[in-house]
Structure 1
Amino acid sequence: MKSAIRATAIAAAIALTGCATEPTPRTSSTSAPSERVTAYQTAAPGIDTGTLIVTRDSGFIGGGCFYAVSINGKLAARLDTGESSRFIVPAGEVLLRAGRDPQGKGLCSIGKSEWTQRETTLKPGETKLFRLSLDMNGKADIQRADDE
Structure 2
Amino acid sequence: MKLFVGALAVALLAGCATSPIPSDKADPVPASRLYAFSGKSEAQLLVTRDSGLYGSGCNYRLYIDGTLAAEFASGEVARFGVKAGKHVLGVKPSAACGGWGLVEREVDAKNGETIRRRITLSGDSFDISPTAI
Partner Cα separation in structure 2 for residue 63 and residue 92 of structure 1 = 33
Give the Cα–Cα distance (whole angstroms) in 2 for the partners of residues 113 and 75 of structure 1.
15
Task: Supply the RMSD in Å over aligned alpha carbons.
Answer: 1.7
2:19 is matched with which residue: 22, 33, 39?
Answer: 22
2:52 equivalent in structure 1:
59
User: Does residue 10 in structure 1 map to residue 40 in structure 2?
Assistant: no
CA distance in 1, matches of 2:8, 2:104: 32
Q: Runs of 4+ in structure 1 displaced over 6 angstroms? A: none
Deviation sequence 1:83-141 (CA, Å, 0-9, x none): 10000011101101111013x2xxx22xx13011111100111111111010122x221
Rounded Cα–Cα distance in structure 1 between residues aligned with 2:101 and 2:45: 22
TM-score by length of 1: 0.82
Q: Which residue pairs with 1:141 in the alignment?
A: 127
Give the aligned length.
132
Q: 1:76 aligns with which of 69, 73, 85?
A: 69
The percentage of counterpart residues that share the same residue type is: 35
State the shift of 1:13 in Å. 2.6
Unmatched tracts of structure 2, length 5 or more: none
Secondary structure of the corresponding residue to residue 24 of structure 2: helix
Alignment-derived partner of residue 97 in structure 1: 90
Identify the residue that residue 119 of structure 1 maps to in structure 2: 106
Which residue is equivalent to 2:32? 35
SS of equivalent residue, structure 2 residue 111: coil
| TM-score, structure 2 normalization | 0.90
Deviation of 1:8 (Å): 6.0
Question: 1:57 deviation in Å?
Answer: 0.3
- CA distance in 2 between partners of 1:64 and 1:97 (Å): 20
Give, in whole Å, the separation in 1 of the partners of 2:103 and 2:7.
32
Q: CA deviation at 1:7?
A: 5.2
